[in-house]
Structure 1
Amino acid sequence: MTISQRVIAVSSVKLTELIAPSFYTIHRDVKALGHTHYWLKGGRGSTKSSFVSIEIIMGMMTDPQANAVCMRKVGLYLKESVYEQLVWAIEKLGVSHLWEERLSPLGLIYRPTGQRILFRGADKPKKIKSTKVSKGYIKYLWYEELDEFDGMEEVRTINQSLIRGGDSFVVFYSYNPPKSARSWVNAEVIEQRPDRLIHQSTYLSVPPQWLGQQFYIEAEHLKATKPEAYEHEYLGKVTGTGGEVFINLQIQEISDEEIKAFDHIKRGLDFGYAVDPLHYTVCHHNKGKRRLYIFGEIHKVALSTTEAVRLIKAENRLNQRITADSEEPRTIATMKAEGLYIVPAKKGPDSVEHGIKYLQDLEAIIIDPVRCPNTAREFSGYEYEPDKDGGFKADYPDKDNHSIDAVRYAIEDEIIRRGVRLG
């Protein structure tokens, strides 16, 4: 079968009958190889898995070198999820006669060329690492229910094993966002990268006849009785667990024009210890509107004092005041000797609690996720620890809070004016 014959085979069905309108733009992007990594998050009935299955089947039938590997965290669930979803796509595209379905081992084979779709569970990592194809290369990867995987390190390890030997790759990550911002998958999408496209979808853009009347009855009932559960389950929103320390966050880009107008810029520094990172922050405190804009950071582990000074000087060209953690007087003295205008933070009883309460009382904490991905991640994921009774402990956790400490130091003068000391 020639390439033109392949195209005819997969174009005889209207894609508008298979792909919901919210996916039209991303379909064109995949076709143009606009990105490598496609993070598809959404609620129930958003048809994101249907979209991925259509893209993989169509893509393989128009590229004779392309193979695919589809994954779940637990291999036991492959047959009833991604495998059946891909069989659905083959049938809807009207090309069942061109594909061979195998159950043992689980697989799909494109008869004209022998291209293969393989299925793997991350609970057996050796099988993933040893995955090979005899013809072409693995162009498509699909992580279904991404949030079930153990974290980005596991995903990177798998990608490093499979993304090799080809000219272009398409990796799909489909998932329903967990409630908590602390979840690794929610934290990961805060950090933007040029080869990643993040897409949000809901059932509201899907033709109603695709889902059926009962689906909408259930959704409306939950919306009326438990609106927060509805937002999480059907709209795919990160609604939180109820233990978030900061409910006044706005994670959004801050433009160069806005930054040029900032006239109350503050800088703070939290030193790293052992495996903990050094964190330097730059923010603007609009006291009139009670808003804090965080638009600059340095966040690195094992950073030498000399290198830290160099990086800070590159940002703080006018050598304006920096307030640092007073627990490191020798480091502060060294940085002073190297030319920084740096002073120790003033500490006092209950200073952490007072500083965090000051931040909580602000109208908004606006964090630029592009300029400050680590700050956005830490603030978003900072939650009270759960207690044994299903509630939350009153104390503030002393972990993953380096940016929070640096911000407290940066605005210590404002906090002290309210009659508390910072620590």
Structure 2
Amino acid sequence: MKISLQKAVGRGYVDFWNTKARYRVCKGSRGSKKSKTTALNMIYRLFQYPESNGLCVRRFSNTLRDSVFSDLKWAIHKLGVDAYFDCTVSPMQITRRSTGQKILFRGLDDGLKITSISVDKGVLCWVWIEEAYEISNEDDFNKLDMSIRGEVPPGYFKQLTLTFNPWSATSWLKPRFFDTPDDTVFTKTTTWECNEWLDDADRNIFLKMKENNPRRYRIEGAGDWGIADGLIYTNVIVEDFDVDKIRAIPGIKSAFGLDFGFTDPNAFTACMVDNTAMKIYVFDEWYKTGVTNKIIAEQIKRMGYGGQRLICDSAEPKSIAELQDEGLRAESSRKGKDSVNHGIQLIQNYQIVVHPRCVEFKKEIDNYCWAKGTDGKPTDKPDHEFSHGMDSMRYAVTKVLMPDTFSFD
């Protein structure tokens, strides 16, 4: 069997493919083929090192099937080696038939299953951590890193590959891997421009983003770190809290908000407000583009919040009425020319505690900044980019904390 890697993989990743550094870390734009290249490399290495095995990791186990598992099946087909592998969902694993080599899949929420990972044949050499930015706690990575130990056959090596979009320069990934030279670390930044498999329609998405949404393009197009210049909310932490325990705090108030969108995402957030401790807990989310109000209502009910008071964007009374027709307790957010700034100022008095499953919300709050004027200085208006979940939270929290008679007019 002969495979043309140049034809299968394309250009832009020769150094990434060949490095033997313990840590192979690639940040990049969307469409930069970093995940597809990593998948091809893992399958290729099973043939190159017939006693090796692989492990794929994400923050949450329920995200594995539609990401890394799917990418690896694609890579097997791309390399034309379908007949050599069995891919099963229960348990989720990929097995090379002739050797018994395996690629295993785990979420960091699996706890002991991560720290006690082992293989029955050969050695565990390759670890791929996809969407590594979602791992907010460096200690979680360290525990995984320490579990990849033991001797390997002569000529073999162990490697942890991390791939992600660099949503914020405040991430632990930047100082850990990018800021200080280290012989054990290989780093790379890639963009959509190295992906020769994109068509004109794909490329136009990035070109329009560069023109119309430069802040988003910086991350999703150029693969640069998101820089929070003029960040609106700074008292933010990520914490894996027990929702039921927080709900049991005396005086806790629930708050549910929805920001409408279509091309932009609809953003639903579920919060709890502790006035005594001055904390806002964000514990659930749903972001989705291109969906009708009927689908929104069905999703909110499916998530278990159909009977909750839902505060929505006051600029869309028709959409609110349609949600009410679907049985939701939807109502308008507070109105008035100063309502946005007053709501922001109110929330700034609280610490915002984000549950790690609220991945999209965390990306937004890390990039939610004051818009800049023509002079390049911050204004008193928030930038529309990265505002959807932030608006949703503001609708919910301000309606809960202020009396119904309050007006910004």
- The TM-score by the shorter chain falls in which range? 0.5 to 0.7
Q: Which contiguous aligned blocks of 4+ residues in structure 1 show a shift greater than 3 angstroms?
A: 390-393
1:216 aligns with 2:216: no
Structure 2 match to 1:74: 60
1:91 maps to a residue whose letter is H
Q: Which runs of 5+ in 2 are unaligned?
A: 233-340, 349-409
Q: Distance in 2 between matches of 1:387 and 1:182?
A: 27
In the TM superposition, what is the alpha-carbon distance from 1:136 to its structure 2 partner? 0.8
1:192 maps to a residue whose letter is P
In the TM superposition, what is the alpha-carbon distance from 1:183 to its structure 2 partner? 1.6
Identity %: 26
1:93 aligns with 2:73: no
Please tell me whether Structure 1 or Structure 2 has the larger radius of gyration of its CA atoms: 1
Out of 5, 17, 20, the position equivalent to 1:27 is: 17
In the TM superposition, what is the alpha-carbon distance from 1:164 to its structure 2 partner? 2.5
In the TM superposition, what is the alpha-carbon distance from 1:212 to its structure 2 partner? 2.1
Q: Distance in 1 between matches of 2:345 and 2:38?
A: 38
Q: Distance in 1 between matches of 2:346 and 2:9?
A: 42
Superposition map of 1:304-383 within 5 A: none
1:183 maps to a residue whose letter is S
1:84 aligns with 2:70: yes
Structure 1 residues 193 and 218: CA distance shift in structure 2, 3 A: same
The DSSP-based 3-state class of the residue aligned with 2:103 is strand
Structure 1 match to 2:7: 17
Q: Distance in 1 between matches of 2:346 and 2:14?
A: 43
1:181 aligns with 2:163: no
Q: Distance in 2 between matches of 1:387 and 1:229?
A: 26
In the TM superposition, what is the alpha-carbon distance from 1:188 to its structure 2 partner? 2.1
Structure 2 match to 1:199: 188
Structure 1 match to 2:42: 56
Q: Distance in 1 between matches of 2:185 and 2:99?
A: 30
Q: Under a length normalisation based on structure 2, what TM-score does the superposition of the two structures give? A: 0.55
Out of 169, 174, 180, the position equivalent to 2:158 is: 169
Superposition map of 1:131-280 within 5 A: 131-167=117-153, 168-178=157-167, 180-189=168-177, 190-207=179-196, 210-243=197-230
Q: Under a length normalisation based on structure 1, what TM-score does the superposition of the two structures give? A: 0.53
The DSSP-based 3-state class of the residue aligned with 2:229 is coil
Q: Distance in 1 between matches of 2:128 and 2:225?
A: 23
For these two proteins, the number of residue pairs brought into alignment is 237
Maintained 8 Å contact 1:151/1:185: no
Q: Distance in 2 between matches of 1:390 and 1:59?
A: 53
Q: Distance in 2 between matches of 1:392 and 1:206?
A: 42
Q: Distance in 2 between matches of 1:96 and 1:230?
A: 37
Structure 1 match to 2:344: 389
Pairwise CA RMSD of aligned residues? Answer: 2.4
2:99 maps to a residue whose letter is T
**More helix, by proportion:** 1
183-192 vs 213-222, which deviates more? 183-192
In the TM superposition, what is the alpha-carbon distance from 1:181 to its structure 2 partner? 1.7
Q: Distance in 2 between matches of 1:128 and 1:17?
A: 35
Q: Distance in 2 between matches of 1:192 and 1:214?
A: 38
Maintained 8 Å contact 1:38/1:171: yes
The DSSP-based 3-state class of the residue aligned with 1:13 is coil
Q: Distance in 2 between matches of 1:87 and 1:391?
A: 49
1:73 maps to a residue whose letter is R
What are the superposed Cα offsets for residues 148-189 of structure 1, whole Å, 9 maximum, x if unpaired?
1132221111111123232520211000101x3212222322
